[in-house]
Structure 1
Amino acid sequence: MGVYNVHERLLAAKGSEAGALIDSLSGGVADRLWPHPNWPPVEFDRPLAVGATGGHGPVRYTVTAYVPGTWVRCTFSGPRGFHGFHEFAVLPVDEERTVLRHTLAMKTSGLARLTWPVAWRPMHDACLEDSLDCAELACTGAVARPARWTPYVRLLRALAR
């Protein structure tokens, strides 16, 4: 099964401001992009750079491309059956507005053909919208329309605990 999943947010921010959010991606205190503590933290074996390995929760990956302030791509190594990548990219619109985009492109195999649409996708979508809320808050000081978890996502989160 092929999966192409995109989340993006138009930010009232310069490209350099949005790019700094990508550069902060670490799951640590200085990370202004990842929606911690609501989701398992992002952890890497070293600072963000090509070759860094890590992930969040059971999702594992290796940084396979990184252009500071612009783009980071991570290639999946887990869970089993995820074959592809996810990435954050900064796309300047003009001097004062930027699109921050997250793209996931992968093929699923085995059990992941079932678990992606039933469990992983709803959780992924909720986490990414929370991440974009973090980005908007960091760039503007407010979130115009905060993401809301569906009852199904709340159920999945409860079952995961």
Structure 2
Amino acid sequence: MRVVNTPEGTSAPDPEALGAQPAPLSPRGARLGPAGAGPEMAFDRPLQVGASGGHGPIGYRVEAYRPGRSVWFAFLRPAGFAGGHGLEIEPLGGGRSLLRHRLEMTVSGAARLSWPLAFRPLHDALVEDALTRAETELGLPPTVRRWSFWVRVLRWFLSGGRARPQAPAG
């Protein structure tokens, strides 16, 4: 099964406002990652081509990195995930830009079930939380993106019953 997922991004006043932020979703203190809404990213070295790491059960390697502009991660795990995902800042002209997340992969084996039932809803909620946090960090009014009932159930289950009932606002 081929999966291409490009949720709507976050618009910023200018490309430099986004590019001046810490590397999107990088470990330890990146202000554009989802605050407390999921497992924190960790890498074996600073964000650069060849760094490997991930978050939770998802593992990947940095395949391409243009500081302040884009990062692309290739999946290493779980089994059945082939492809990658990344973030890019797209200049829109007129001093505006768009932060966009893109996911391109094929799933096989058990991932044909685990992706649509668990990984996709959790992934989409995590990306939406990150985009909301980006808006907040840029001083823009955050778009409220509520978790679905299924995401709340999955987060509660994965946290051993300790998950918050709703995503953070920013």
Same topology, TM > 0.5:
yes
> Which string of whole-angstrom CA distances, capped at 9 and with x for unpartnered residues, describes residues 25-52 of structure 1?
32312x0111031110011111110001
**Residue identity opposite 1:4 in structure 2:** V
TM-score normalised by length of structure 1: 0.93
Aligned residue-pair number: 159
Instruction: Tell me, in whole angstroms, the C-alpha distance in 1 between the residues paired with 2:13 and 2:45.
Output: 28
Query: How far 1:24 moved relative to its partner?
Result: 5.1
Gaps of 5+ in 1: none
Matches within 5 A, 1:1-150: 1-21=1-21, 23=23, 25-29=25-29, 31-143=30-142, 145-150=143-148
Q: SS at the partner of 2:63?
A: strand
CA distance in 2, matches of 1:90, 1:112: 30
Deviating above 3 A after TM superposition, structure 1's stretches of 4 or more consecutive aligned residues are none
21 and 113 in structure 1: CA distance in 2 versus 1, 3 angstrom threshold: farther
Does the CA contact (< 8 Å) of 2:24 and 2:87 recur in 1? no
- With normalisation by structure 2, the TM-score equals 0.88
RMSD value over aligned CA atoms? 1.4
Q: What is residue 155 of structure 2 aligned with on the other side? A: 157
Deviation at 1:20, TM superposition (A): 3.1
Percent identity of equivalent pairs: 44
Runs of 5+ consecutive residues of structure 2 not aligned to the other structure: 160-170
